[in-house]
Structure 1
């Protein structure tokens, strides 16, 4: 078999940076509308005034000359004139005060960087002759940005898979196994832990929760007051059921209100009971496994999830299942440009909402008429975007995300666009994380990595490796229901 013929056929439809462009296109076409839908009402909570978002429109890059004329902005002109190759973002807004519509308009909220050869780029779909006429290299793959005339690359990162349970063994004498999940919803990423002590007691931990919170107390707070209901949720291993019975007997708290008040005494100490209950419920809804949901109706589902986490710790402790391998690629996700831009967009949009609230409060204090063009300032959004793209510092405190692209030779840009960094500290040894894993075969180059402190933490995709974009979870959920899978709750 002619292997080179197979490789040539592969690259007829794919390029070495296709995954970066596909990820960015998904961000523009799917993720941005989802973010707007999540925040479709901007409520400053003053003066009975609110703004409803009805739609989004993103234009391709343009430039405005001194005489006021607007025309297309092409990448080569952005390079020569030290301009930003960015697209204007417009939102259809409706201003409402006391239930009465004041104004409806399409407002410009700012700009986002445009990736070359993406759906927003003027170069997409052009022939080699047309690219040469525009001053572009026909062999250039795209996949990068132009900020202040400089070509910028968003370097990919490999992270532990979000919303996935990992069971591991810790170097603590009183803990036999720990189940950890990084629950992610929007920009929020919180860690939830269930650890099994050597005496069989399960301890739960999540943000703002009291220390050494017994798993059974948290389960009671989620509405599991019937012991038989809890036991029926386990799969039936004798050793695991013994641990479950031990935990049921470990706490005198039996009702939901008692459990919520127990948590409330830690999250709202010294407050009256009604406030303690309300505050504890807010903490449970918003900080415990937020990827499942943040409403009271999701508490049962969270309880079943915690049961499964506890079950896995006991299975690992009794040798019924192996501990998870954190370095296995099935337990990792590569964050490409689309995911990185999503984090930056959410941060910038939050800055915009904060600025709108400030402008509304100031207008009401000065008794001015509330109009969209006075409370919506595009600078707040664009400045947050430009800070990340210019400095390379991202909202999650990660540095070196946006880097100047190396044009030393033809290979150098591809080299950077297929680079994958690890978020682990370079100062720590992390021997296992630096080693070549068996799942790297065919996905990462086993040889190419820098020398010194970065050895093994900076990797490069193999020649024919491709990173897929995220799938719609709702489509998978509908497919499972169609195949007859019944939900545990509801």
Structure 2
């Protein structure tokens, strides 16, 4: 027994000699800079102003490569040099690195100008790949004035040590069906479909008329069968085959109610009228297709070729909803560990940067169009305000107020003792507010 205990202790010591206690947070930040930032730029790759000079047919601003260097500071005399965390803390500065991006302007598809510019500053997580302390030895850390036992995994904002706390959240892109506590549907299926900047709630219900309904952004309680047909799965026998239930009576009732819908155009027309689009038939069909492509199950895809896959997924979700509501399988447990996800610092910074990148692009468009209205054709160098993105990011990290109305995401590190500091760096918080009486969520789950 004693030998087994000694072996376990040796293994634990060996593991933490090679791995940091905040390794997950550091890897999350590295992933954010290396992969999430370029993905956000790819989402907003081309920007088209609505007001352009009269002699120009087409004008586009293209955002290309983005990269982050190591932390530096610009002194009062204009000189730039590297800054280390200890100096940032002592001088009440932010330990941040400049963000550079390649920007180009195209007139009628022909490049007008292309350059690299700084679009802001990004606070850098200590001990990450982009920190000056990365891979330094114990002696080198002491030489730089750092505590060699400090694990890193936090930021320095205006001289204050700040940590982005990991948040426990429900898994996206998973349908969870449970008994409804209120409303006219006995069971409710809920899912957040998430892709890039889109996170759209979808709600499945069965009302007293025995028809299955789906609600999502801009669309309130629309029958599911016409939606499936509008996406290209038109034949009733194919819908039955994809839903694939031992007892199809509920599906047959729904199919019979919409037996007059023979093709996808009729289904799209039904959907457009249900949404409330009241133009000519051609415009109605076009707008309803745009809504289905953009807002229905965005995690599956947003292109016309993804419509059939969305129809197959709706059949799969409907099958699960029917099986749970009819008691064939048990209802979903939101508190089960497989239905939970952790939003790490990199994920939360991705949400923050995605929102503020849209603010920066909106500001660029406003500045460009304002100058064009005066009869000038400006260089796009003058319309980019690098302080805007920096101020937005710093403000959120200083106050802890985050995207989606979350508060307390970024907190000041508690330094009463070493163990408390390590605990704070690895803390996971629940999104439930203290005023909510949710006893099941607060209880220890067996998983």
Matches of 1:390 and 1:141 in 2, distance apart?
21
**Are the counterparts in 2 of residues 209 and 263 from structure 1 also a CA contact under 8 Å?**
no
Task: Give yes or no for the alignment of 1:361 onto 2:366.
Answer: no
Report the counterpart of residue 13 of structure 2 in structure 1.
8
Report the counterpart of residue 389 of structure 1 in structure 2.
397
Pick from 230, 233, 245: which aligns with 1:221? 230
Pick from 11, 22, 33: which aligns with 1:17? 22
TM-score by length of 1: 0.85
Report the counterpart of residue 479 of structure 1 in structure 2.
none
**Are the counterparts in 2 of residues 57 and 89 from structure 1 also a CA contact under 8 Å?**
yes
Matches of 2:223 and 2:377 in 1, distance apart?
54
Matches of 2:337 and 2:48 in 1, distance apart?
42
Report the 3-state secondary structure (helix = DSSP H, G, I; strand = E; otherwise coil) of the residue aligned with 1:438: coil
Task: Give yes or no for the alignment of 1:248 onto 2:258.
Answer: no
Task: Give yes or no for the alignment of 1:52 onto 2:50.
Answer: no
Report the 3-state secondary structure (helix = DSSP H, G, I; strand = E; otherwise coil) of the residue aligned with 1:152: strand
The Cα of 1:92 is off from its aligned counterpart by 1.1
Return 154-163 or 180-189, whichever deviates more: 180-189
Q: How does 1:465-476 map to 2 (within 5 A)?
A: none
Return 364-373 or 84-93, whichever deviates more: 364-373
Return 65-74 or 257-266, whichever deviates more: 257-266
Report the counterpart of residue 411 of structure 2 in structure 1.
403
Pick from 47, 65, 90: which aligns with 1:42? 47
Return 269-278 or 340-349, whichever deviates more: 269-278
Structure 2 gap segments, 5+ residues each: 53-57
Q: What's the CA shift string for 1:47-67, capped at 9, x where partnerless?
A: 232122231221111111122
Aligned length: 436
Report the counterpart of residue 145 of structure 1 in structure 2.
155
Report the counterpart of residue 444 of structure 1 in structure 2.
none
Return 268-277 or 81-90, whichever deviates more: 268-277
Matches of 1:69 and 1:42 in 2, distance apart?
34
Q: What's the CA shift string for 1:222-275, capped at 9, x where partnerless?
A: 12221111112123x322x22221210122441322322223234344433333
The Cα of 1:201 is off from its aligned counterpart by 2.7
Pick from 311, 318, 336: which aligns with 2:344? 336
**Are the counterparts in 2 of residues 84 and 148 from structure 1 also a CA contact under 8 Å?**
yes
Matches of 1:209 and 1:191 in 2, distance apart?
11
Pick from 258, 261, 279: which aligns with 1:271? 279
Q: What's the CA shift string for 1:338-386, capped at 9, x where partnerless?
A: 0000011101111111011111101211222321321211122112211
Report the counterpart of residue 461 of structure 1 in structure 2.
none
Q: How does 1:287-326 map to 2 (within 5 A)?
A: 287-326=295-334
Report the 3-state secondary structure (helix = DSSP H, G, I; strand = E; otherwise coil) of the residue aligned with 1:181: strand
Report the counterpart of residue 220 of structure 2 in structure 1.
210
The Cα of 1:172 is off from its aligned counterpart by 4.8
Return 4-13 or 429-438, whichever deviates more: 4-13
Pick from 72, 77, 89: which aligns with 1:67? 77
TM-score by length of 2: 0.93
Superposed CA RMSD in Å reads: 1.7
Report the counterpart of residue 373 of structure 1 in structure 2.
381
Matches of 1:110 and 1:413 in 2, distance apart?
30
Report the counterpart of residue 29 of structure 1 in structure 2.
34
Report the counterpart of residue 100 of structure 1 in structure 2.
110
Matches of 1:9 and 1:386 in 2, distance apart?
38
Go from structure 1 to structure 2 and tell me whether the alpha carbon gap of 1:67 and 1:299 turns closer, same or farther (over 3 Å shift).
Answer: same
Report the counterpart of residue 76 of structure 1 in structure 2.
86
